[in-house]
Amino acid sequence: MLIFKENISLKPYNTFGVEAHTKYFYKITNSLELKEVLLKNKAFPFRVLGGGSNVLFTENFEGLTLLIANRGIEVVNESTETVTVEVQAGENWHEFVLWCLNHNYGGVENLALIPGSVGAAPIQNIGAYGVELTSVFKSCKAFNTQTFKEEVLVKKDCEFGYRSSIFKTHQKEKFIITSVCFQLQKPPYYPTITYGALSTIFEGKTPSIQEVATAVIQIRESKLPDPKILGNSGSFFKNPLVSKSHHERLKASYPELPSYPSSDRQLKIPAAWLIDQLGFKGTQHGDAGVHKDQALVLVNLGNAKGKEILSLAQKIQTAVKETFNITLEREVNIL
Ligand code: EPU
Nearest atom within ligand 1 for CA of residue 128: 38
Per-position b or e across 194-203, b if 16+ CB within 10 A of its CB = eeeebeebbe
**pLDDT-derived band of residue 48, with 50, 70 and 90 as boundaries?**
very high
pTM value surpassing 0.75? yes
Digit-coded pLDDT (tens) for 195-238: 989 999 999 899 999 999 999 999 999 999 999 999 999 999 99
Mean pLDDT score across all residues of the chain: 96
% of the chain with per-residue pLDDT over 70? 100
- Measured in Å, residue 74 CA sits from the centre of ligand 1 at 33
pLDDT at residue number 190:
85
Using an 8 Å Cβ cutoff, are 131 and 137 in contact?
no
Sign of CA dihedral 210, 212, 213, 218: positive
pLDDT, mean of residues 44-58: 96
Burial class (CB in 10 A: 0-12, 13-18, 19+), 79: exposed
Digit-coded pLDDT (tens) for 108-142: 999 999 999 999 999 999 999 999 999 999 999 99
Nearest atom within ligand 1 for CA of residue 294: 8
Q: What is the 3-state secondary structure (H, E, C) of the chain?
A: CCEEEEEEECHHHCCCCCCCEEEEEEEECCHHHHHHHHHHCCCCCEEEECCCCCEECCCCEEEEEEEECCCCEEEEEECCCEEEEEEECCCEHHHHHHHHHHCCCECCHHHCCCCCECCCCCCCCCEECCEEHHHCEEEEEEEECCCCEEEEEEHHHHCCECCECHHHCCCCCCEEEEEEEEEEECCCCCCCCCCHHHHHHCCCCCCCHHHHHHHHHHHHHHHCCCCCCCEEEEECECCCEEEHHHHHHHHHHCCCCCCEECCCCEEECCHHHHHHHCCCCCCEECCEEECCCCCCEEEECCCCCHHHHHHHHHHHHHHHHHHHCCCCCECCEEC
Q: Is-catalytic flag, 330?
A: no
Nearest atom within ligand 1 for CA of residue 129: 38
pLDDT over 90 (residue 77) = yes
Q: Is-catalytic flag, 47?
A: no
In whole angstroms, give the CA distance from residue 73 to residue 51: 17
Choosing from 163, 165, 233, 259, which is the catalytic residue? 163
Q: Is-catalytic flag, 262?
A: no
Using an 8 Å Cβ cutoff, are 308 and 17 in contact?
no
- Measured in Å, residue 224 CA sits from the centre of ligand 1 at 10
pLDDT over 90 (residue 263) = no
In whole angstroms, give the CA distance from residue 19 to residue 13: 10
Nearest atom within ligand 1 for CA of residue 162: 39
**pLDDT-derived band of residue 191, with 50, 70 and 90 as boundaries?**
very high
In whole angstroms, give the CA distance from residue 95 to residue 280: 34
- Measured in Å, residue 117 CA sits from the centre of ligand 1 at 21
% of the chain with per-residue pLDDT over 90? 96
Q: Angle at Cα 268 formed by Cα 184 and Cα 168, nearest 5°?
A: 60
Q: Angle at Cα 206 formed by Cα 115 and Cα 162, nearest 5°?
A: 40
Choosing from 135, 165, 233, 235, which is the catalytic residue? 235
pLDDT at residue number 242:
97
- Measured in Å, residue 295 CA sits from the centre of ligand 1 at 9
pLDDT at residue number 88:
98
Report the nearest-CA residue for atom 7 of ligand 1.
273
pLDDT over 90 (residue 104) = yes
Site residues for ligand 1, CB cut-off 6 Å: 128-129, 195, 223, 234-235, 238-239, 258, 270, 272-273, 276, 281, 294-296, 331
79 vs 76, 138, 187, CA distance in Å?
Answer: 11, 15, 12
pLDDT, mean of residues 14-35: 97
> Which of 217, 226, 235, when mutated, tests ligand 1's pocket best, judged by the most ligand atoms within 8 Å of its CB?
235
- Measured in Å, residue 44 CA sits from the centre of ligand 1 at 38
pLDDT at residue number 264:
83
